[in-house]
A and B are shown apart, each in its own frame.
Chain A
Amino acid sequence: MYRRILRQLLYAAALILAVLVLNFLLIQLAPGDPAEVIAGEMGGASAEVMAAIRQQYGLDKPLPTQLALYLGRALQGDLGMSYFYNRPVVDLILSRLGPTLLLVATALGFAMILGTRLGMLASRNPRGIASALVTVLSLVGYSAPVFWTGLMLVILFGATIPLFPIAGMIDVVKQGGPLVRALDIAHHLVLPALTLGLVYLAQYSRLTRASMLEVLGADYIRTARAKGVGERQVFGRHAFRNALLPVVTVAGMQFGAIISGAVLVETVFSWPGLGTLAFQSILARDYPTVLGILFFSTLIVIIANLLTDFVSRLLDPRLAGGR
């Protein structure tokens, strides 16, 4: 058991190192460098200023030296200073990590709970109207691109029926205690979480439906029914719990995807998370920040995978008992 965990951690470390090196090299392929962006932001700059910027950030050194310096510092936990925002990358990322996790967790939680319920509902009568509705809904939800759904929601709830704020996470003008702030954040969270969650809601409901239908045809369900277990019990306990396994596995695997989905949603809603930061940093050729974000997302995905493993074991004791 411990050897297994150790091995997984070793893999994770190697993966992180590979991610760091690969990303460092990849980002160098993009044309233009931070000095040009900064000069652009300044409305033009002299050769001396450009040279000073390049020197300040070590961009005048050869690439292998830059890589070695970066890795050396990163291994000591120092992700460097943002070229663009002139503050430590770790600070920038930590201030953005919370909003992203809040958004992703809300979206995923909402998609998970509602999606599995809908899937279950649909599986109860696979040829009924409810099932057809869920299928149509999930097809639409799945095929509509996130940014489109987002923009449509913005137009509907931001302009036509202004129920929800459409940009940002807090209303800086509003003042009040922690409760007011929490409510304000929740208010701002509705549209982005809904947008991000809808795609996954669609997937989970389809997956649950299919998985339920398969499980319901299994022998042990027939046994349960034969011995007189109530239909509620059969659905909720015997079938649903088993049908949930593939959903959990997929959800865990999707954690990486949902973070990349968050980039789009955050951009549409100006949600101050890692996604908007990543987007702006790439445009600004802010290498340390981009690398830092990729590093953090790698970490998150690795942790999410470990957690998925753990949850699967909880749901299915056979997996835990193996070794």
Chain B
Amino acid sequence: MTPIPAFSRRFLLAGAVALTALGTAPSLSAQEAQTGGTLVVASVQKPRHLNAAVQSGIATGVPAAQIFATLLRYGEDFEPQPYLAESWEFSDDSKVLTLTLRSGATFHDGQPITAEDVVWSLGVVKENHPFSSMLEPVEAFEAPDPQTVVIRMKQPHPAILLVLSSALTPILPKHVFDDGQDIKSNPKNNLPVGSGPFKVTAFEPGQHIILERHDGFFLEGRPYLDRIVIRQYQDANSGVLALESGEAQLFPLLDSTRLIRRLEKSGAMTVTDQGYAGIGPVNWLAFNTKSPALSDVRVRQAVAHAIDRDFVTKALHSGLSKPAVEPVVQGSPFYTEEVERYDFDLDKAKALLAEAGFGEGGETLKLRIDYIPDNEEQQRAIAEYVKAALAKAGVEVTVRASPDFPTWAQRVASYDFDMTMDQVFNWGDPVIGVNRTYLCSNIREGIIWSNTQQYCNEDVDKLLNEAGVEPDLARRKELYAQAFKQITTDIPIHFINEVPYHTVWSQAVQNPPVSIWGAMGPMDEVWLKQ
């Protein structure tokens, strides 16, 4: 056993504050929670399997947050709360994180959850999870005793607390999964034995996932629900119909503003856009900075100035989406006002184009725009609008459709595009979901959602990397603000809007999932009013 260095008082305090926060659980109303009942959740996502340790994404994340506990959890702000770990402390140099586990916690098969399981699970995530930056700075996971987990990092890694939450680092039973098979294709991923509030009893791909209450869950009296059924619908329309007919009671991750408005008007449902600060979904126009015309920053700036974000958010999305102006969403702790916004200014657009030698007197600029198929409002409609808007600045734009997602992904990942509409998630911390779009080292051909813009500015790299290892939050914010300012000046991406994800629920549903992870957080507090 290695000696544990002294802890800083500041971080001890953070743990204590979080502990009290759980005592007054978020948004738990004065009403006494009722137990029992089945909650049917409408979903249009199709998970491959349910093991979130080796599969990221919303589709697996929603059920996995119910099946697996994580060390920490989050409420409606970016303050960590105890979950499987009841307290945690950083060392003075912020390179060692020590967590104390709750005693008496058990897996769905009744075996105790020990530090060894946690260490093994974190190792699996580090080895296999698609977001390799999450645990990249970690040198060792240690279990000095069954209730203590020590995480040693080669440099401070402030994102680690967020990484230890929700769907990102599920705690798996080592005695079940450590069976010599490749964990990524282990058949047990289909019906995994978990550690969370609900155990999975059925998973029919494309149809439904049935989750039953885990009676031995480590939080006293939770979960309130007997069952959660996640029903998969072909599209948002049929999901909403199911909600209206009473077949389903909760519909998270709905992004069709037409349907959201319809539900709002009907009055029988509650609609909120809360619960998406963690995912941080941004809808943007990406430039191929190596394509001949767009390699000129003035041309990219001109395109940006010709686009009216208000038209998109107000007219196309009937006021339900927020404008986006930088890499992170407004709900992120790193959101800053100090960026280049590129507000709508047609004259400026024309002037910039003229400077670059296009427009009146020069040649006509011709560009092509791609978009992710099967998303009318967020992608195709905006691509069409960009075409119309740029025509006013004298730019000829052709809209190229892709028959399906893989076709689009291949075009973009092999740099066969001028500009494309795209949708990328923040995933809570810039280290996880933001850096990948801008780092020079992440220009990797063939990889979708890498730096497919082929943008490279070493100053930005330096700032982002420094911010990633800065333990002081205020200083970290400052570094990101500088990075975002530079990125928006160089404009490899023109940010358009935040994806208007909404959660809708019927009147019976109480304490709906509105933490920063939304439905990707545990629904142990949700209950149904009878």
Contacts and interface: CB of A to CB of B under 8 A. Distances in A.
B447 A168 contact: no
Given A49-B130, A86-B190, A87-B187, A40 B244 contact: no
A280 B406 CA distance: 12
Contacts, number: 151
Contact of A43 (B204, B238, B408, B425): B425
B388 interface: no
Nearest to B413: A36
B489 interface: no
Interface residues of A, number: 51
B57 A42 contact: yes
A33 interface: yes
A37 interface: yes
Contacts of A37: 405-406, 409
Interface in B420-443: 424-425, 427, 433, 436
Chain B facing A: main interface SS: mixed
B214 to A, nearest CB: 19
A159 B259 CA distance: 14
Contact of A44 (B187, B232, B404, B448): B448
Interface in A25-52: 30-33, 36-50, 52
A280 B206 contact: yes
A154 B410 contact: no
Contacts of A56: 182, 184-185
Contacts of B189: 86
A277 interface: yes
B59 interface: yes
A44 B424 CA distance: 9
B447 A41 contact: no
Nearest to A266: B234
Contacts of B242: 166-167
B49 interface: yes
Contacts of B2: none
Nearest to B245: A162
A38 B448 CA distance: 11
Nearest to A85: B205
Contact of A172 (B56, B206, B231, B446): B231
Interface string A166-178: 1111011100000
A173 to B, nearest CB: 5
A43 B406 contact: no
B456 interface: no
13 contacts: A43-B56, A43-B131, A44-B448, A46-B132, A81-B185, A85-B48, A85-B205, A86-B48, A92-B205, A172-B208, A270-B206, A280-B46, A283-B405
Interface of A: 30-33, 36-50, 52, 56, 81, 84-87, 92, 95, 154, 158-159, 162, 165-169, 171-173, 267-268, 270, 272, 276-277, 280, 282-285
Interface of B: 38, 40, 46, 48-49, 55-59, 128, 130-132, 182, 184-185, 187, 189-190, 202, 204-208, 210, 229, 231-234, 238, 241-242, 244-245, 247, 404-411, 413, 424-425, 427, 433, 436, 444, 446-450
